[in-house]
Amino acid sequence: MTDAGTSLFPSLFPLFFVGMWLVVTTMLGALSGWFSLQSQFPRGDEAPLVTFRRLSGYMGLGVNLNGILALSACPSGLRVAIWRAFGPFQRPFLVPWAEISAERKTRFFMPMAQLSFGMPEVGKLTIDAGIWQKLSAHAPAGPRIVDPFEPVTNEDLARGLALQWAVIGVAVVAIAFFAFGFSPPPGIPPVLLAIFIGFPAIGFGSAQLIRYLRQRS
């Protein structure tokens, strides 16, 4: 790189980063089907009956929206929104209750709800089944297109989350053992090694507990 290029790099890098961020988030919006959904459904200005934030879900062609979704149960439908920083061109949209169908799925041991939006279908969103139960409980009692959804119990949630935690914990320990050649490195006390290995499992377990508390009935 020339001296001129080197001097310009600090000032141009923020523009490059912003441009790449806009390109990536726009591509994810297209792959997730968000743009099709927002063109089909209005934003809606109803006051929500209940809102859950910092949710995760899966949309479209396997796009993982990790902790950036906000779902609101409104009198006429379900409002779906995303953190603006992760979707600068993805506006919220409100799907009428009559145009939502739900199917129970299992993903990595966890009971999930796969929601289909539109009649005919325009897009899909998969979220935790416990969250869907809390949202759909606010739907009106009149005629609507929602498939029979097998209730999810607290035991179902606890079992799925515990199995996830166990698998992740075993994987972390196995990776650590392989990395250290099945013996602790010289000079590192076993207690510190145990903390190093156990910290990810403790952190993930805490996140799983919070996830359970949000979904339990």
Q: What integer pLDDT is reported at residue 54 of this predicted model?
A: 94
Q: What integer pLDDT is reported at residue 147 of this predicted model?
A: 56
Does 108 reside within a domain? yes
- Domains: count for the chain: 2
Mean pLDDT for 124-153 is 80
Query: Is there a single domain that holds both residue 92 and residue 183?
Result: no
Is the model more confident about 197 or about 32? 32
CB 73 within 8 A of CB 136: yes
The CATH number that applies at residue 82 is 2.30.29.30
Q: What integer pLDDT is reported at residue 143 of this predicted model?
A: 43
Among 110, 136, 162, the domain-final residue is 136
Tell whether the model's pLDDT for residue 208 goes beyond 90: no
Query: Following DSSP, what letter does each residue of the chain receive, concatenated?
Result: --HHHHHHHHHHHHHHHHHHHHHHHHHHHHHHTHHHHHHHS----PPPSEEEEEEEEEETTTEEEEEEEEEEE-SSEEEEEE-GGG-TT---EEEEGGGEEEEEEEETTEEEEEEEETTTT-EEEEEEHHHHHHHHTTS-SSS----------HHHHHHHHHHHHHHHHHHHHHHHHHHTTTSPPTT--HHHHHHHHHHHHHHHHHHHHHHHHHH--
pTM: 0.81
Q: What integer pLDDT is reported at residue 195 of this predicted model?
A: 66
Tell me: the pLDDT tens digits for 76-129?
999 999 998 888 899 999 999 999 999 889 988 999 999 999 988 999 999 999
Query: Is there a single domain that holds both residue 173 and residue 103?
Result: no
Query: Is there a single domain that holds both residue 39 and residue 98?
Result: yes
Look up the domain containing 194 and give its range. 154-215
Q: How confident is the model at residue 20 (pLDDT cuts 50, 70, 90)?
A: confident
What's the chain's average pLDDT? 84
Ranges 109-113, 186-190, 193-197, 203-207, most confident:
109-113
Does 190 reside within a domain? yes
Does 19 reside within a domain? no
Tell whether the model's pLDDT for residue 145 goes beyond 50: no
